[in-house]
Amino acid sequence: MSLSSDSGPSAEERPPAGVRPGHLGFIMDGNGRWAEQRQLPRTQGHAEGAEALRQMLRLARKHHIAEVTCFALSTENFEQRSEEELQFLFDLLAHHLEQEREEMERLQICFRAIGRLQELPRRLIDAIEKAQRETSGHKGLVFRLAVNYGGRAELADAFCSGGAGDPSLIGAQKETALAAHLYDPAMPDLDLLVRTGGEMRLSNFLLWHSSYAELYFTPVLWPDFSAVDFAAALEEYSRRSRRFGSVSTTTSGGDA
């Protein structure tokens, strides 16, 4: 299934009332379990997960989400998964980046990748760089993929690159200096972080950017994540009261 450019959400996909997240994050968990439940190879779960990702991007575009960042492969996955499974993931990602350019153009998706990308296979690095270059001017949706990514690794790399290392910096200056050396300094903080698959933890994902994110956990395995599940996450977000350490306000602008 390809990304679609149809005009708007159907009745069951229509976004709920209230403010929507500007930056939406996904921990796409459950591909392996989805396959195991069906006595299929884990690679089939990853293939179905890629299909769910296409569906989610289409929905995000319809719902006017500005940025989406998805956790595709952690530094721990990179070190602990079998070589066969990793090679399948690398080939799957490279293939889709090469095949989806027309759809990214149609939907005006600006693709970016974060992580220790230099450790990836050359074909995948080339595909990532080409997709980033060719979509850099698109204005519809920023889609960011975290590959060989870890939140602690990002902070360590930022510090070693010079962020906040100056002892003369104080207070917020240190935070500003560190943020300038993160993998994507232009990335805004997350508003809503969704994790599928039933687990309730961050798993080292976007630790800096999740400081005040609303968290939403669902037992639905990622390949089964549907338009209904997407709408449910947005509806829950619209009910949340976001304080940021100060006066309580709801996401829809009301007083609590």
Note the pLDDT tens digit of each residue in 149-177: 999 999 999 988 875 566 666 667 888 88
| pLDDT surpasses 50 at 69 | yes
Q: Are 46 and 89 in contact (CB under 8 A)?
A: yes
| Separation CA 131–CA 116 (nearest Å) | 17
Annotation marks residue 77 as catalytic? yes
Using pLDDT thresholds of 50, 70 and 90, give the confidence band for residue 242. Answer: confident
- Split at pLDDT 50, 70, 90, the class of 243 is confident
What's the burial of 15, exposed, middle or buried (CB within 10 Å: 0-12/13-18/19+)?
A: middle
User: Does residue 12 sit within a domain?
Assistant: no
Q: How many residues does the chain have?
A: 256
Identify whether the C-beta of residue 256 lies closer than 8 Å to the C-beta of residue 241: yes
Task: Answer yes or no: is 3 within a domain.
Answer: no
Domain membership flag for residue 18: no
Are the C-beta atoms of residues 57 and 3 closer than 8 Å to each other?
yes
* Mean pLDDT, all residues of the chain: 87
CA-based radius of gyration for the chain: 18
Counted domains in the chain: 1
pLDDT at 166: 64
Q: Look at residue 234 in the predicted model and tell me its pLDDT.
A: 96
Residues of the chain above pLDDT 70, percent: 84
Is a pLDDT exceeding 90 seen at residue 193? Answer: yes
**What pLDDT, in 10s, does the model give residues 5-16?**
343 444 444 444
Instruction: Spot the catalytic one: 29, 31, 191, 229.
Output: 29
Adjacent-strand bridge partners of 249: 242, 255
Residue 208's domain comprises 25-165+172-238
Does residue 5 belong to any structural domain of this protein?
no
Looking up residue 135, the CATH number of its domain turns out to be: 3.40.1180.10
Domain assignment present for 1:
no
253 belongs to a structural domain: no
Pairing between strand 249-250 and 241-242? antiparallel
Least confident of 72-81, 95-104, 202-211, 244-253: 244-253
Which one from 6, 31, 77, 189 is the annotated catalytic residue?
Answer: 77
